[in-house]
């Protein structure tokens, strides 16, 4: 059993007996598991939700876990999936492995039979990195607010998003390339089958992610394979609504174009078949892949069409959503770059394609200092702001699930000299607040920081419980509609306002609208 201390006295034995109902092994569909107790929670680390995708299972749909005998000790996090570096700046670099399809669970006390809401965290990392176990993502604070938190790994980079004609032919569904999304779906199916044993309610599952994790949430709403696996969705700084033909690497968004990327990688590695490629060491494959083609693709199976078309046709998995983005998302994206007014337009078009002058001129860029700020704001709106705003508008237009929209503008108290000091309310900056983990960094946290974090974790867990973030104890969060587009602005205080940065978003919207017919038949 997972108990701290030695059982050397009757008083300790009595205490253990009184709490043993909470600590007894849990029977999952693959076998018994036992967690560890910490700070009043029961934590289960490294539970397998699919077979290791190694050897002949590399680049295959996730397969069932082999059952085990006895009690499996769930007391250690698994390696993350194959990747380089850390998925979040300032977080530890963890061991990686192809054997990585595991999840972790944080369970409140007295949960047996409680039917608690479940929050399933899908980590970000640009679809080339991920982690279900970095300390920032631990579910302890949220679990103490009455939810079960599940964090999942999924394949990324050339192991999670790799298409090839042989793989497509090998598939019963005539597709390849979306193994990372299939891992996420497999984890959600595991939750549906097993979470009630931990005290969770499979009819109140919230999928939740940031950056590529939020993009994954968006794509799971668009995928017919995820139907019925979740009842609410939270997306922080991510979505997938830009028309593929408006991107510089447009062919990689569709199966035939991504298959060509896969063929080139195989050729570069000297592999003349998928069987040969499955024998290439994982480290060698990791070094050979092209990150521009490493992302989910419209494959006709996991994603039948581009998400915009699925939402426009009201074919999305229709659930309430809580989504938003940050005021300074673009600042970390240009860290260390020299931005010049003289090359501002050419540099942006090289990165994002032929964006029109009327959009670029929304952001003043006559001097180098102005150009630096303008470039950060373009990165914010093109990468994050427009997709999130469009997600809110499309769900409001064609869905029945309500939309709760936010804008995070609060600047954490970064220490002087910190590598984050110039990031403002940048990409990732809301995560210590939404996870309730201000204590993990020894910064000069103020009362306003702690109040904001407590409010945001309460909004998020309220939403997981009911589909509505409000509870009467916090400032009211009105639903977003296209007729009345409210947003809650998180800064030193919490206020209701309109959509931020609207001129740039509207200009982008007009530009992207010209590409819809180009993608309509794909």
Q: Name the residues annotated as catalytic.
A: 211, 329, 427
Phi, psi of 439 (to 5 degrees): -70, -10
CA distance 223 to 204: 19
* Residue-by-residue DSSP string for 8-24: -SHHHHHHHHHTHHHHS
Six token digits for residue 190: 């595991």
Q: In terms of C-beta distances under 8 Å and separation of at least 24 residues, what long-range contacts does 445-454 make, across chains too?
A: 445/413, 446/413, 448/410, 448/492, 448/493, 449/410, 449/412, 449/413, 452/410, 452/490, 452/492, 452/494
Strands 102-107 and 41-48: antiparallel
Find, among 219, 175, 187, 203, the residue nearest to 316 by Cα.
219
CB-based contact 184:208 (threshold 8 Å)? no
Phi, psi of 154 (to 5 degrees): -155, 155
- Sheet of 26-28, strand order: 26-28, 31-34, 71-73
Find, among 515, 520, 522, the residue nearest to 312 by Cα.
520
Instruction: Please give the radius of gyration of the chain, using alpha carbons only, rounded to the nearest integer.
Output: 23
Six token digits for residue 339: 């931005």
Six token digits for residue 55: 């050897």
CA distance 220 to 39: 33
CA distance 80 to 132: 7
């Amino acid at each position: 059993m997972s108990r701290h201390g030695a059982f050397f006295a009757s008083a300790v034995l009595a205490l253990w007996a009184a709490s043993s109902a909470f600590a007894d092994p849990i029977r999952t569909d693959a076998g018994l598991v036992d967690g560890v107790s910490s700070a009043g929670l029961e934590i289960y680390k490294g539970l397998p939700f699919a077979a290791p995708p190694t050897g002949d299972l590399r680049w295959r749909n996730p397969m069932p876990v082999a059952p085990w005998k006895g009690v499996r000790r769930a007391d250690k996090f698994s390696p993350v999936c194959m990747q380089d570096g850390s998925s979040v700046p300032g977080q530890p670099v963890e061991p990686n492995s192809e054997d990585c399809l595991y999840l972790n669970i944080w369970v409140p006390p007295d949960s047996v039979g409680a039917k608690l809401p479940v929050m399933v965290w899908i980590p970000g990392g640009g679809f080339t990195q991920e982690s279900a176990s970095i300390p920032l993502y631990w579910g302890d604070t949220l679990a103490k607010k009455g939810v079960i938190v599940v964090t999942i790994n999924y394949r990324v980079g050339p192991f999670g998003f790799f298409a090839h004609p042989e793989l497509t032919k090998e598939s019963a569904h005539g597709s390849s390339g979306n193994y990372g999304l299939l891992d996420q779906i497999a984890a959600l199916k595991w939750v549906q089958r097993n979470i009630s044993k931990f005290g969770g309610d499979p009819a109140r599952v919230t999928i939740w992610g940031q950056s590529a994790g939020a993009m994954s949430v968006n794509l799971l709403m668009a995928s017919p394979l995820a139907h019925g696996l979740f009842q609410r969705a939270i997306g922080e700084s991510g979505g997938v609504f830009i028309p593929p033909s408006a991107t510089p690497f447009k062919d990689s968004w569709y199966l035939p174009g991504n298959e060509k990327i896969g063929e080139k990688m195989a050729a570069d590695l000297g592999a003349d078949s998928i069987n040969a490629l499955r024998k290439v060491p994982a480290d060698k494959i990791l070094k050979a892949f092209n990150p521009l083609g490493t992302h989910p693709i419209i494959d006709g199976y996991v994603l039948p069409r581009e998400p915009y078309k699925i939402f426009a046709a009201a074919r999305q998995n229709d659930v309430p959503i809580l989504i938003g983005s940050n005021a300074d998302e673009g600042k970390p994206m240009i860290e260390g770059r020299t931005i010049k007014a003289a090359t501002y337009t050419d540099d942006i078009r090289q990165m994002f394609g032929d964006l029109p002058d009327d959009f670029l001129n929304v952001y003043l860029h006559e001097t180098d200092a102005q150009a630096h700020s303008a470039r950060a704001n373009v990165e914010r709106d093109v990468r994050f702001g427009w997709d999130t705003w469009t997600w809110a508008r499309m769900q409001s237009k064609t869905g029945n699930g309500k939309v709760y929209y936010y804008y995070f503008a609060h600047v954490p108290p970064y220490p002087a000299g910190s590598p984050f000091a110039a990031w403002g309310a940048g990409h990732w900056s809301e995560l210590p607040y939404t996870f309730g983990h201000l204590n993990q960094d020894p910064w000069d946290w103020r009362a306003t920081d702690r109040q904001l974090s407590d409010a945001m974790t309460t909004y998020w867990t309220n939403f997981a419980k009911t589909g509505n973030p409000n509870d009467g104890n916090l400032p009211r969060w009105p639903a977003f509609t296209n007729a009345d587009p409210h947003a809650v602005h998180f800064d030193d205080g919490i206020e209701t306002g309109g959509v931020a940065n609207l001129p740039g978003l509207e200009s982008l919207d007009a530009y992207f609208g010209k590409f819809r017919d180009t993608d309509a038949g794909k």
